[in-house]
Amino acid sequence: MAILENTYAGLFCPAGGFHIDPLRPVDRALITHGHADHARAGHGAVMATAQTLDIMAIRYGEAFAGMRQVATPTRIGDVDVSFHPAGHVLGSAQIHISGRAGSVTISGDYSRTANPACAPFQPVPADIFVTEATFGLPVFRHPDPLDEIGKLLASVAAQPERAHLVGAYALGKAQRVIMLLRDAGWDAPIYIHGALQRLCDYHIAQGIPLGDLRPATIDRSTKAQFAGQIILGPPSAFAATWAQRFPDPVICFASGWMQVRARARQRGVELPLVISDHVDWPDLTRTITELDPAETWVTHGREDAVIRWCDLQQRAARPLRLVGYDDEAEA
């Protein structure tokens, strides 16, 4: 019996009787982090970090699963299970499983760039390393995020009569942008769309300072007050009438996808900010080299290029081709 199988509902550990980040409701799920394509509601029992469980409760309500359990090193069925920091977003973890059939580390989504919201990625060697491949193409080399924030601040200074509307996903990216702005010396209030409020509040409650945040929900008659201000919202809000309340807005978008110009243009972005919470190509390939697993499994993203790289390095690798991860969301 293999330590890990690829099933209809997602990755499954037969010796432990549980799924990891299942795509469909299952009896028992281990969840790496709170992004919607990994953490779904409706499982029988969920094990995850305390923060991921809190985030799921915020997103789906307290009744998101039949039973919940905070991750600690433990034995489930015939395997030992442990959770390790992934450096992706608040609460994110890799999952390590070992048993008679060998060992596996499932990265979930991970990043090796410092992020004050979470503990840094911890390399956990195993026989099999399951890596994400969101930015698994050699064109992806993320720049220093502080330089990207510098671009935003320079644009605000050069166009003080316009509002800067920054698209950022609600979990992780929004708080990351806020923290980077604070690091860069932006002490003014930052306005946030209502959809970001609860997760920002939760970060603050977890001891992550975000400074003066205010709701961007003032009536239209006061449009001019947003001139020169920075407003954060989920990208979906940019299509809504919400965007109409701001004066001649500069549409910005904080995402690793912004490295590719066509992506930025398709979204109508005027100021692309390449800020990612995933590994870029150099970090992804470096991680595989460092962990030196007997086998690398590649999931959601650009599997083909990572597999090709493994071939060139004479490493055993296979694509998982899991269906259902939204590899372009929350990146």
Partner 1 sequence: MKRFAQLLEQLAFSPQRTGKTRHLVQYFAAVPDPARGYALAALTGDLALRKVTPSMLRALVAERVDAELFALSYDFVGDLAETIALIWPGGGGADPPLPEVVEELAATAKTALPGVIAARLDTLGPSERYAYLKLATGGLRVGVSGRMARLAVADFGTLPLTEIEELWHGLTPPYTSLFTWAEGGAKPVNAAKAPFRPVMLSTPTDAKALAALDPADFSAEWKWDGIRVQAVCDGGVKRLYSRTGEDISAAFPDVLDALSHDAVLDGELLVRRGDAVAPFNDLQKRLGRKTVSARLLASHPAALRVYDVLIDGPDDLRALPHHARRARLEALPLDPARIDLSPLLRFDTWDDIAALRAEPGDPVIEGVMIKHRQSPYLAGRIKGHWFKWKRDPMLIDAVLMYAQRGHGKRSGYYSDFTFGVWDGEALVPVGKAYFGFTDAELKELDRFVRTHTTERFGPVRAVAPEKVVEVAFEGLAESSRHKSGLAMRFPRINRIRDDKPAAEADTLETVRAMIPR
Residues near partner 1 (CB under 8 A) are 137-141, 158, 165, 238-244, 246, 248-249, 251, 259-262, 264-272, 302, 304-305, 308-309, 312
Distance CA 181, CA 175 (A): 10
Q: Looking at beta carbons only, is 160 or 207 nearer to partner 1? A: 160
Q: How far is CA 57 from CA 63, 67, 170, 263, 304, in A?
A: 7, 12, 15, 33, 35
* Least distance to partner 1, CB of residue 311, Å: 9
* Least distance to partner 1, CB of residue 198, Å: 24
Strands (E) in the chain, as ranges, are 5-7, 10-13, 18-20, 28-30, 43-48, 65-70, 74-76, 79-85, 93-99, 102-106, 128-133, 164-167, 190-192, 213-215, 230-233, 250-254, 271-273, 295-301, 316-319
Q: Token pair of 10, please?
A: 């997602």
Q: Looking at beta carbons only, is 102 or 138 nearer to partner 1? A: 138
Cα angle value 17/28/72 (rounded, 5°): 90
Q: How far is CA 223 from CA 43, 152, 165, 247, 290, in A?
A: 45, 21, 13, 6, 52
Q: Looking at beta carbons only, is 64 or 281 nearer to partner 1? A: 281
Q: Looking at beta carbons only, is 198 or 261 nearer to partner 1? A: 261
Q: Looking at beta carbons only, is 56 or 251 nearer to partner 1? A: 251
Distance CA 271, CA 155 (A): 8
* Least distance to partner 1, CB of residue 143, Å: 8
* Least distance to partner 1, CB of residue 325, Å: 17
* Least distance to partner 1, CB of residue 242, Å: 7
Backbone angles phi, psi at 90, to 5 degrees: -50, 125
Q: Looking at beta carbons only, is 10 or 301 nearer to partner 1? A: 301
* Least distance to partner 1, CB of residue 185, Å: 21
Nearest to 103 by CA among 73, 75, 124, 74: 124
Q: Looking at beta carbons only, is 14 or 138 nearer to partner 1? A: 138
* Least distance to partner 1, CB of residue 166, Å: 13
Distance CA 229, CA 215 (A): 12
Distance CA 216, CA 190 (A): 9
* Least distance to partner 1, CB of residue 181, Å: 20
Instruction: Tell me 255's DSSP state.
Output: S
Q: Looking at beta carbons only, is 75 or 261 nearer to partner 1? A: 261
Strands (E) in 200-328, as ranges, are 213-215, 230-233, 250-254, 271-273, 295-301, 316-319
Residue 122 contacts residue 85 (beta carbons within 8 Å): yes
